[in-house]
Amino acid sequence: MAGMLAGRLALVTGATQGIGAATARRLAREGALVAVNGRERSARMESVVAEVDGIAAPADLAEPEQVRALVDRLVDDHGGIDVLVANHAYMTMAPLVEHPVEDWWRVVDTNLGGTFTAAQAVLAGMRARGGGRIVVITSEWGVIGWPGATAYSASKAGLIALVKTLGRELASDGVLVNAVAPGVIDTPQLEVDARDAGVGLAEMHERYARDIPMGRIGRDEEVAAVVAHLCDPAVGAFTGQVLAVNGGSTRGRA
């Protein structure tokens, strides 16, 4: 398929559902060969792989050795990774004093640590190929915080700092690093919020929509469109930035 990413390999982590799956579809439409990551091989992974004519890429992003082995395998089989979209996430919610420390660190190790490991793993190949694109999916909660989500918010805030730092550090190598910070998006992750609030999913959607100036929560394909823009080889001189996709909610709280 012709497109701005024709001939390029894109690794999308956490791509078996939600924003990750929508991003895999969008990058495939732009011509990329997409490696679809999830923690393990599953029916959902196979479905997305078939839909985008891509590659199954199972690995647990909380396990550095699995991440490095996955990247080595993709490089050996396909010659190098041009685009990394770090979308994987693990989320639980609990008041600070009730959050088990082991689970708190699992959230941070998966979301922040996994992205660190993935960026390290793809960097040598991107440098050898003369550049690349890394897009990190963070969160509005990493900007404003959220009660009961200390681990998730802290991990996502850490990702913002990581992106800003790598944007400076890697620009001279032609590796452009940016982030997308979605607000409330209609993905399966909202089920965690609904359970924590003790309400049904439809009620959770309505509650969030009341505080969004656009009057609705976002859609995963809207986030994927912004990710695709940041992966465009023609988008240069743009690195270390965080783009908010939130229907105006952050601005509305200012």
Q: How far is CA 182 from CA 20, 168, 209, 249, in A?
A: 12, 23, 14, 10
Average pLDDT, 10 consecutive residues per value, the chain (254 residues): 90 97 98 98 98 98 97 96 98 95 97 98 96 97 94 98 98 98 90 89 93 93 98 95 92 42
Residue 223 contacts by C-beta under 8 Å, 6 or more apart in sequence?
A: 19, 22, 23, 137, 180, 182, 185, 245
Domain 9-185+219-240: CATH superfamily is NAD(P)-binding Rossmann-like Domain (3.40.50.720)
Catalytic positions, written as ranges? 152
Q: What is the pLDDT of residue 254?
A: 35
Q: Is the pTM of this model over 0.75?
A: yes
